[in-house]
C-alpha cells in the first residue's frame, strides 16, 4: 500500500476548465519527490487536494489506504507536515516559541517528552534561537520561512510537503535547509518539494513529477 494514491484526479475551480485533468500517481512513505510545472498549472492546488483542504471533483486521493474525503484536516496534519508557500498563512501564534510548541500543546499524537530540547535544536538549526520570545510578526520574510520550516520539521510527521521552500532564503539558510533535507533522507522520511529550481530538485529528490493540464509525467 502506497502512502499516497492519487487515482484519476480531476479538479477545477470553475465549471468550464479543468485545472487538473485525470491524473494518477503513487507516492511511497520514504520517497523523495519533486513537483514542477509552469505558473498556474495547479501545483499548489494539487497539494491542497492531497492535504484535504480542497475536495476532488472527480477521482480519489488515498492517504495510507484511507480516502482523504473521510479524514479530518487534523488527522492529515498528524501524518503529513506542510510548509506553506506564504509563511504568513502558516504562522498563527503570537511568539516564535509558541509557534514551535503549538503541536505539542494541542496535538494528540506527539510525545511530550523532550519538547524543549527538540524545539531548541530546530531553532538553533535555523538560526532562530535569538528570536525565541519575539513576535512572529516582527520577523523578516526569510525568518518567517525558516520558522515555518522549523515548526514542521520539529514535529514527528511521516511525510513532509514543502511548497517552494527556497523562496526568501539566503545562501547560508539554503545550506541549512539542504542539511535538513539530507537528515530527513538519512532518517528515511519522505518528502515532496514544489520548486521551479530544477538544479535544487535533482540534488535532493529521487523523482521529479511534471504537472500539466493534460496530466503528470516523471521527468
Q: Please, which residue, 137 or 182, has the CB nearer to other proteins?
A: 137
SS3 for 100? helix
Of residues 10, 102, 208, 215, which one binds other proteins by CB under 8 A? 102
Task: Verify binding: residue 94, other proteins, rule CB under 8 A.
Answer: yes
Q: Give the count of beta carbons closer than 10 Å to the beta carbon of residue 99.
A: 21
The whole-angstrom separation of Cα 193 and Cα 201 is 8
Q: Please, which residue, 84 or 126, has the CB nearer to other proteins?
A: 84
Of residues 93, 115, 129, 208, which one binds other proteins by CB under 8 A? 93
SS3 for 48? helix
Task: Verify binding: residue 11, other proteins, rule CB under 8 A.
Answer: no
Task: Verify binding: residue 137, other proteins, rule CB under 8 A.
Answer: yes
Q: Please, which residue, 24 or 74, has the CB nearer to other proteins?
A: 74
Distances (CA, A) of 87 to 7, 13, 192: 30, 24, 17
Task: Verify binding: residue 111, other proteins, rule CB under 8 A.
Answer: no
The whole-angstrom separation of Cα 33 and Cα 75 is 22
Burial label for 170, CB within 10 Å (0-12, 13-18, 19+), is exposed
Give the range of 8-16, 24-32, 76-84, 202-210 binding other proteins by CB under 8 A: 76-84
Binding pattern to other proteins, positions 36-55, x when CB under 8 A? Answer: ---------------x-x--
Place of cell 519522505: 190
Task: Note the residues at the interface with other proteins (CB under 8 A).
Answer: 51, 53, 72-78, 82, 84, 88-94, 102-103, 106-110, 136-137, 151, 155
Amino acid at each position: 500500500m502506497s502512502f499516497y494514491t492519487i487515482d484519476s484526479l480531476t479538479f477545477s475551480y470553475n465549471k468550464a476548465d479543468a485545472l487538473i485533468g485525470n491524473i494518477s500517481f503513487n507516492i511511497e512513505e520514504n520517497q523523495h519527490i519533486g513537483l514542477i510545472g509552469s505558473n498556474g498549472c495547479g501545483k499548489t492546488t494539487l497539494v491542497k487536494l492531497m492535504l484535504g483542504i480542497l475536495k476532488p471533483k472527480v477521482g480519489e486521493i488515498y492517504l495510507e489506504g484511507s480516502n482523504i474525503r473521510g479524514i479530518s484536516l487534523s488527522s492529515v496534519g498528524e501524518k503529513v507536515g506542510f510548509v506553506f508557500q506564504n509563511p504568513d498563512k502558516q504562522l498563527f501564534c503570537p511568539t516564535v516559541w509558541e509557534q514551535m510548541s503549538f503541536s505539542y500543546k494541542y496535538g494528540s499524537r506527539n510525545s511530550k517528552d523532550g519538547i524543549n530540547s527538540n524545539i531548541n535544536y530546530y531553532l538553533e538549526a535555523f538560526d532562530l534561537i535569538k528570536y525565541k520570545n519575539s513576535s512572529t510578526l516582527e520577523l523578516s520574510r526569510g525568518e518567517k520561512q525558516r520558522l515555518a520550516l522549523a515548526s514542521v520539521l520539529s514535529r514527528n510527521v511521516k511525510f513532509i510537503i514543502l511548497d517552494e521552500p527556497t523562496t526568501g532564503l539566503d545562501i547560508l539558510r539554503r545550506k541549512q535547509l539542504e542539511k535538513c533535507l539530507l537528515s530527513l533522507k538519512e532518517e528515511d522520511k519522505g518528502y515532496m518539494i514544489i520548486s521551479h529550481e530544477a538544479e535544487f530538485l535533482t540534488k535532493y529528490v529521487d523523482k521529479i513529477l511534471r504537472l500539466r493540464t493534460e496530466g503528470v509525467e516523471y521527468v
